[in-house]
Amino acid sequence: TKGTDFLFAPCDDIMTRTPVTVRDEDKFADAEQLMLQRKINTLLVVDDDDKLSGVLQIYDMTGRENGQGGHDA
């Protein structure tokens, strides 16, 4: 069916080409606010050379409020 065609498509046909990023030194609260404003659940974290240093997800933030959160894949 038409709805499942994406399952067989290459990732580069589906991926976000301009992901939202934050710097690794940005404040946690600013990243959370950005996610809420943009209605997104994932930010890429980059260093001063614009190289990927990690991924921040809204789920990481909700766990941190309770002293948990953050994970390595």
Residue range 22-35: average pLDDT? 95
Can you give the pLDDT at residue 64?
60
How is 3-61 classified by DSSP, letter by letter?
GGGGGGS-HHHHS-SS--EEETTS-HHHHHHHHHHHT-SEEEEE-TTS-EEEEEEHHHH
> Band of the pLDDT at 7, cuts 50, 70, 90?
confident
Distance CA 29, CA 39 (A): 15
Averaged pLDDT, 56-61: 86
pTM of the model: 0.73
Confidence bin at 66 (pLDDT 50/70/90)? low
Q: Which residue has the higher pLDDT, 73 or 12?
A: 12
CA atoms within 13 A on the CB side of 37: 8
